[in-house]
Structure 1
Amino acid sequence: MKFTEYVVLDRAAQAVDPLGFRRPAGALLDLLFPQFTVLTLRPSYLSALCCFVKVLNNTKSSSQTGFSRRFRELELFWGIANATVNDGVVNITKYRELCEGDVRLASVPKRHAVFQRLSYGTLGHYTSAAIRWGLVDKEGRRLEPTGSALADSFASRRSNAQLDDALARWIDGESFSHGEMEAFGQRFGVSAQPSRPERSAWKDIIREWCAKHPKTASLWDAPIAQATLEASNTGHEAYREFFDTLRAAYPDLRHEIDAFWQFERLAAATLFMFELRVAALEFGEKFADAAPPDEAAFAAHVVALSNTYKDGAVFQDARRLFRALAESAADYRALTRCVVDHHIDHQQAKGTSPVVDHEQLMVMGRVDAQTMREALADTQAAYDIEDCLDRIQFRYRRQWHFEKCRRWYDWAEGSTETLQ
């Protein structure tokens, strides 16, 4: 049994974002991969989105329902087809309830759960990416020429059963048998392989992107090998080597890649300090004196790296955290106070309660004791401060979208390296 393909937004502390790193991390990502977000997982969703938009544009409707609802009605057909072949499309648990026997749109209750959160699905997750790729207009309601070509190539994966024709018949109230839905799922499902015209359409889209954004064209000319991407997740040493590989592969993007590394390293170090402080207040004496093995060296490194990052060619701050760290005394306790001060300001700016207020725990359950014990043990195994920070950085590593670049490239080229 398959479930909706889930997204790890980041590790626990990052998902809650207690230090406000999501915005600056997103700004850095936009320098290289503005067409991706953490929610854009597979190219097939964009192909389907274009197909649905084209059907809506070509259909005269007297319905008073909005665009999002009518889009979901089309997505419903595709979702049921995916569920019929057990393909892990978004909302599959809801679609699975509807894939028994013959199916027709009118038989789905108007208040069914699948219609409750229209932003959770292809439209909500992929419209911003479609706009960035230039597939749809700025409102996401009309197709651009490349989006139209992609829609046509996706809809015609089966010459004897066009998806756009089936969608039009679905809207008109026609019913489809389980066998018919299974056939559509096998050919048009999230995991189904693209046709040659669809791959060609994606090649044109990527080629046009590179022409408009020549600075990042090298990322698409030679994406990082899948084996290298997989190896980067095996440990802290491999992760450091991965960034060395990135610098060597894309020398014209070295400033951006260095900023990725420096930001992630500082974010990891400060999150580690923050979580240790929370653990000390929540779990008491077990973490009362918890700290990296060489507090002085750790603090000196954080201050020095903050200055290097701040003075670099590419810099994104989290409010003023990294500037404050750069100006701070190289003292671990002083840095911890600086991090907690920043956390309080960040939470108050969001209108939410801080987790800690220096000497007082305000919200429980934000850190896991076992996870923190493992992190401390890992730092104790480090042979110097660089290795210590490598280990912390690996534990708090972020998603930089190089693996998505590889996936989209392989999708267009027909490579089997990541088409699984």
Structure 2
Amino acid sequence: MLDRSDILEARDRVRETSRHTPLEYSHTYSSMTGADVHLKLETFQRTGAFKIRGATNRIATLSEEQKDAGVVTASAGNHAQGVALAATRVGVDSKIVMPEHAPISKVKATESYGAEVVLHGADYAEAAEHAHELEREEGRIYVHAFDDELVMAGQGTIGLEIVEDRPEVETVVVPIGGGGLISGIAAAVKGEKPDARVIGVQAEGASSAATSLRKGERVSIEGVDTIADGIATRSVGERPFEHIREYVDEVVTVSDPEIAVTITYLLERSKTLVEGAGAVPLAAVLFEKFDYADDETIVPVLSGGNIDLNTLTNVIVRGLVETGRYLKIRTVLTDQPGALEELLDIFTAHRANIYAIHHDRTSREVEMSDTEVEIELEMRGPDHVDAFLSDLREAGYEVDVLA
């Protein structure tokens, strides 16, 4: 098991490569929750995520013979960039296997740090299997994304920084994928402040740690389905699972809509870009997935900001839908002059701003004398949406909400 001394040694190794990232008080989220919320912004870390810490610590311990052999790993993106940069800095050749559908931004970033990228498999598990094949075939050293105590110790340097910057911290909230991040942070925090809580958070569609804890043994789930690709793993690591059982107080889950809302809040309120995995700790606080007291000092670890722009576009729209800021509806009008004007009178009364209107006279779902209309609208919140839809239906319109 990791202890404080392992993480202190790791800090000495990673000091020149990784940054001591900011820990900032958030008036917005403190007001929303009643807690004393401080954001640990690993989004400002080199490579845009925490993974550079663990990768640097692992590669720094390689022998000269191992460095000459080169390294290989599998990653959904952030560990890939961390290994690529850490290896390149010390002249080690690196090969990274990423899932075939890895965000293009993470693929290009990994290549820019000097690694050779191989796209293989539908998810992390299949990518890792191929990476181990390359390990055997080419004699490379495998740098595991999470199931490695040196990697875990490197990630644990975040915990040291949290306690140093906010000694009164009471609860640290950390995302869980394979479990390396929370293992290191929990060991560091408990080593410095045994009474502090560490809460782990997973996406509902990738809840291997939560499932394993519930069953009392490490299990692999059949598949993953979440926008938080950075924590989309089928199983928590063997070593991390033991650390989670020893050090972590509770593991909770959040839904993809909750993640999307949190990403939107962070962009709009905090001017901070995070990926799905980076949003889950704050989502757990905002949606009260665990109990906390008024004025409790809570530190959500925003672990990374490397979100693909195509994904971000979809997430923002979903976040606006969930918060009642965007509405897409379908209704049927009589296909005659003035019908649309009558409908728009209700829109005007509610000051609903129209993004787009689409008429479809060819739909087989309506009579030939009618036309189907889809309308996209900017709204001002859930109450505005409810009142608007209520008035439409009272006026006799049959309305389907599409988004």
Normalising to structure 1: TM-score of the pair? 0.27
Higher strand fraction: Structure 1 or Structure 2? 2
TM-score, L = length of structure 2: 0.28
